[in-house]
Structure 1
């Protein structure tokens, strides 16, 4: 039905992405290592102990330049972050969060009322935008449809998905809601469409706003949704090249 084209995790919510070849999914949990750190704003009391909405955090919807951060997890648990406009930084997120937050300040409008404040660790689940632990699936055919409507090449990484799938027709994923699937050796149920925000307007290579994705979605398909949230209902491993199939 569909093939896993690539797998991505985002160790720090809204700050960077990292490609992986395989992942072990656990029932009722988010993708391991995905959005396990986040940067709350100085107006928020978020401490990582419980889920809160994305508005509590520094994010690409308000600071598009964050879209261009790339991240590498090192064998010792340290993280290396890069951005085309900044020197690279390697740091220990458990002890040097303030170093990372200071590094990001050059990307944030200093006149914004809410500023990035600290780095916190999620203790129960990754800080995905859904109020339940989820993984996100993106259909590359749907991306190509948006790309065609935009009239320019677009990176699918702007959607910040976990599992990029190839094979289904464009927008077929919206018909999967409520259905169960096998994904590699894991089992998932598709729960919801993903409603999009201004973060997707930012180019994941440069951080510059280069296309109005929301207007394209609304003008061509009368919605601003892209991708779907899934819940893991049986643990298993997923590798690049694995299949998504109806259970």
Structure 2
């Protein structure tokens, strides 16, 4: 089987919603358009809005501490600059994240599905020149669906691959083939990516992306099966272009 991109996903507000795309135009040195464009700074965050820049994920409300956030879905109206969000326990909401009143409405909307034992959501923030990815470079994350299936087998449990919150879900590979990719270049249709590093996983992956409830010990399965907490790789775009679901993947030296 030829390796190919099965699904493309972006997460407009970090840890607060996902959206599937049939195709996307990528730019060298940038994340997917609108991916992690915004983040939710919590009340204990050290984020300087006067000089906004990329900040470590510890400054933001995340599904690692608030698993219910995993059940948020999103849809972006790029022309209008608006984001619509849904969650099984909250009313639907549509916001312009640049509008101060809409941002306040969003923070109030997110509060009830945030773990009360964690710092609470306080501000919707962004860094205009860089996405709020978990890496300090603008990254694209890739998930090998064969590796995901291996985790399912280790657990004896069917899992949604959306637990990994990847941008590109890829198939047609052997399990864990991606572990050999750091330092290599991938060609995906018009696009080229330089694979930088593996993704070390956190508690967010233990939560079901449909219900927002923790129901699978993904970290335990990774440790017991392979002695690590890795699933997926981070890459940077080195040649831009249009990427579509179904684009074939070639590993270059």
Same fold (TM over 0.5): yes
Contact 2:7 2:170 in 1 (8 A): yes
SS at match of 2:84: strand
Q: 1:181 aligns with which of 157, 171, 186?
A: 186
Q: How do 1:94-173 residues align onto structure 2 when only pairs under 5 Å count?
A: 94-95=98-99, 96-112=102-118, 114-173=119-178
SS at match of 1:189: strand
Contact 2:16 2:72 in 1 (8 A): yes
Q: 1:63 aligns with which of 57, 63, 66?
A: 66
Between 155-164 and 44-53, report the one with greater CA deviation: 44-53
The CA distance in 1 between the partners of 2:128 and 2:10, in whole Å, is 17
The CA distance in 2 between the partners of 1:212 and 1:162, in whole Å, is 22
Q: 1:72 aligns with which of 71, 75, 86?
A: 75
The CA distance in 2 between the partners of 1:200 and 1:89, in whole Å, is 25
| Cα displacement (A) at 1:230 | 0.6
The CA distance in 1 between the partners of 2:104 and 2:223, in whole Å, is 39
SS at match of 1:117: strand
Q: How do 1:1-247 residues align onto structure 2 when only pairs under 5 Å count?
A: 1-46=2-47, 47=49, 49-74=52-77, 75-95=79-99, 96-112=102-118, 114-247=119-252
Contact 2:186 2:250 in 1 (8 A): yes
Q: After superposition, give the CA deviation of every residue in 1:181-236 in whole Å (9 maximum; x if it has no partner).
A: 21120111111000000000110000000011111100110000010001111111
Instruction: Name segments (4+ residues, structure 1) moved above 2 Å.
Output: 109-112
SS at match of 2:233: strand
The CA distance in 2 between the partners of 1:6 and 1:14, in whole Å, is 19
| Cα displacement (A) at 1:109 | 2.7
**Length, aligned pairs only:** 246
The CA distance in 1 between the partners of 2:175 and 2:251, in whole Å, is 17
